[in-house]
Amino acid sequence: MKTKLTEAEKEIMEILWEHKSAFMKDILEVFPDPKPASTTVATLLKRMQNKNSVGYKTFGNSRQYFPKVEKEDYFNHEMTSMIDRFFNSSVSQFASFFTANSKLSQKELKELRDIIDNQIKD
């Protein structure tokens, strides 16, 4: 996925990732209040199709939408993009910033160290 999703598009993607596929009425039903107009959701879905992040199957006059991008793949792309933009593509700079600024407890820092140690062993 090369095109970034807007916050509203991400909300729809979260629904599709959770439900695997959904008709527009299902998306609107799950959407938190205040619910957007159906025309707004239709416009967002059209944009998402143009970005190749959503596809659909036609059933009569209805479309059942489904994600064309896995959530993990999207998350990986977003994280890589953020590290590239803010940390000059340096994961170690990101890790340093994250651990220094996120107020992690000693237990959480030790858990992170264990995760890294396990990755080094593999």
Fold of 1-88: Arc Repressor Mutant, subunit A (1.10.10)
User: DSSP string spanning the chain?
Assistant: --SPPPHHHHHHHHHHHHHSSEEHHHHHHHSPSSPPPHHHHHHHHHHHHHTTSEEEEEETTEEEEEESS-HHHHHHHHHHHHHHHHHTT-HHHHHHHHHHHTT--HHHHHHHHHHHHHHHH-
Q: Provide the pLDDT for residue 2.
A: 59
Q: Is the pLDDT of residue 55 over 80?
A: yes
Report pLDDT digits (tens) over 9-43.
Answer: 999 999 999 999 999 999 999 988 899 999 999 99
Domain residue ranges in the chain:
1-88, 90-122
